[in-house]
Amino acid sequence: MYSRYASPRFDCDGRVVYRYSRRHRVASSHDIAGWLYADVFLALMIMGVGSSVVVRQMLPSDSAVPPPTATQATVSCREFAVPVNGQLADGSDTALAEYVTAAVDGEVMQRGWTSDVARPALVIVLGGFELYESAGDGDANARVLRARLRRVVPMLANVEMRTGGSRSALVDSNQIAVGNNGDFVLVVYLLHSNNVEEECV
């Protein structure tokens, strides 16, 4: 950017003649910072788009290793509840593991699936609390139970598990009571190794 200003001059007859000259403006630090942020943002955008590109390695036709077959897994939108009362939660690890495993396997069989094609994909552990307590107290208890479930239930060792505190929950369009302090409800979502068609609201 530049600005024009007039400077008086005198010609040979003594008359005043104005000559306009151009003066360049020095770039401020704000201008430099703006361009710097724009360049950084552009670089981050390019890196983000580049990292989302999936590179596929093609095997030669005479290779002894067959190319992997593409499988499409589906997370079922029909969640189900596994209530865990205080007595079971305070009991032995073996009893808790057997109960949770049997509940998940029973739901898989009820849907007409088998355990080799369906497994838990997401488990939300909800902890109950007393009327004089808050949801944070239930969530704190749910975190303790989550760590224990990962340790004693093999099928939940590598499953995404979240926690929360609540006295009731809506599970598959049904209102389920969680209970008081020490009671829990596991909300389980299943992952099917193939495409499944379900009617979900």
Contact present, 151 and 189 (Cβ < 8 Å): no
pLDDT tens track for 185-197: 999 999 988 776 6
77 pLDDT band, cuts 50/70/90, is confident
**Residue ranges covered by each domain of the chain:** 2-51, 74-192
**Beta strands in the chain, from DSSP E residues, in sequence order:** 2-10, 16-24, 74-75, 80-84, 118-127, 160-165, 168-171, 174-177, 184-192
- At the topology level, CATH places domain 74-192 in 60s Ribosomal Protein L30; Chain: A; (3.30.1330)
pLDDT of residue 201: 53
pTM above 0.85, yes or no: no
Give the mean pLDDT of 26-43. 56
Looking at every residue in the chain, the average pLDDT score rounds to 78
